Chains A and B, each alone.
Chain A
């Protein structure tokens, strides 16, 4: 095979590494759970104080949603699963 004397570079590739963005655990408002129950679930799942749990509960109630926790994806998924098991409507979203 003849040697390539003048190779044509079609595409340059580069690698870059960066820290992953954290994920938010978002709880949405629903019409079936009592306010006191939601506060209790926040206290149990996240070990929040009553005041902090109440603040998030009121945020959900008044604004329709509240970011209750932010961190790595695996733990966020676990929290969402635990919130679902308590019948709370929760989702994950990547921080922008």
Chain B
């Protein structure tokens, strides 16, 4: 099971200022990439995040990261990490790095995955950001977690991190609009056939 409450067991966080490394709490009491301001409408920002960040960017990046991990394609994994770092706001990248490094620090054994070991070494050397969604996808892949479950679990962690950052309750799963996320995941796995393509077959 995941746990972030203990300090990382490995070194290598030299690039991240000491005061900004993961603190107590799930993610040090801060958001990940879904970061509504206290005055914002939480559900509204969640819908926006699902449509603008998760759907078009994170979903694809995580699926590719899972495939690359299984195929032991470390370069693809690193490229995907850099790609996500390039499209998100710098403050989001920093938060995702903290969470990603905290998770990497707790991954032991890695089930003999060469790409996972290489990715972790690159993150520790500062050669790749080591973002949380990529690390989460990597771990899900090496433990053979089904992609749909992994992606939904990731979205739930984003939701929870934002809830905790605002001091609100996180233990109300009904509040999380899982349908919003599942729609995007299912659309990725089962894209609707274009009417033109259907007509061409006929």
Contacts and interface: CB of A to CB of B under 8 A. Distances in A.
A86 B26 CA distance: 19
A33 B153 contact: yes
Interface stretch (B12-20, B74-82, B144-152, B190-198): B144-152
B1 A35 contact: yes
A86 B173 contact: yes
Interface in B155-202: 156-157, 160, 171, 173
Contacts of A57: 1
A29 B3 CA distance: 13
Contact of B2 (A32, A40, A86): A32
B21 to A, nearest CB: 19
A87 B152 contact: yes
A40 B171 contact: yes
Nearest to B136: A32
B152 A31 contact: no
A38 B1 CA distance: 9
The range of chain A's interface size is: 10 to 19
A32 to B, nearest CB: 4
Contacts of B139: 31-32
A31 B145 contact: yes
Contacts of B152: 87
Listed residue (A36, A38, A61) with the most chain B CB atoms within 10 angstroms of its CB: A36
A31 B1 contact: yes
Contacts of B173: 86
Contacts of A36: 26
A93 interface: no
Listed residue (B2, B140, B150, B156) with the most chain A CB atoms within 10 angstroms of its CB: B2
